[in-house]
Chains A and B, each alone.
Chain A
């Protein structure tokens, strides 16, 4: 079974902190994605990556950056966390047209 693992289920950070959300997949997939989920808004794409060291902006990249130094790991970085980044973050990896999602990280910025 494909496994996509996000490093934390719940995270509480202070405003202004630099925050790293980690995602690891074990199936050598090239494509990885970070989504943000908010009530009533569904899932919105923040960033995605088609290969190591490659990244592309999604629909809501402002305030975020990403890093993909190894194929299996895709990190989402909040350079200076703000309260409006309190949300559920979901990572996905893709093979063909099928996406596999991690369990999600619920981030609260106080």
Chain B
């Protein structure tokens, strides 16, 4: 069974629209970490955020925000006022306390922002 599910395979938006990327995870560990990575066309994975299971505060960084809800096992990522440079594949990932270091990735969401 997939530990991390990104149900949206592809999303297309027009510049300046807001867009939310969904991530649902599954774990029995009480200690775990959630991540979002961006992969632009160049191929390198860029770290965006890490959240531990004991910190449910939502986070905002510029146009990016993250909504962590343990009750629904979700860690969604919103881009406000999207830009063409946001076009990339975005991956959600999980690291469990029992196997710390090993990342389980979702299948990724391809975001295309049109001018």
Contacts and interface: CB of A to CB of B under 8 A. Distances in A.
Nearest to A102: B44
Nearest to B4: A42
Given A97-B33, A101-B45, A103-B42, A42 B106 contact: yes
A103 B45 CA distance: 7
Contacts of A48: 101-102
Interface residues of A, number: 26
A36 B79 CA distance: 27
Interface residues of B, number: 22
A62 interface: no
B107 A41 contact: yes
Interface of A: 9, 31, 33, 35, 40-45, 48, 50, 58, 88, 90, 92, 94, 97-104, 106
Given A40-B107, A103-B42, 10 more contacts: A9-B43, A31-B101, A33-B101, A42-B105, A43-B103, A44-B105, A50-B101, A98-B50, A100-B47, A106-B43
Interface of B: 6, 9, 33, 35, 37, 42-45, 47, 50, 52, 91, 95, 100-103, 105-108
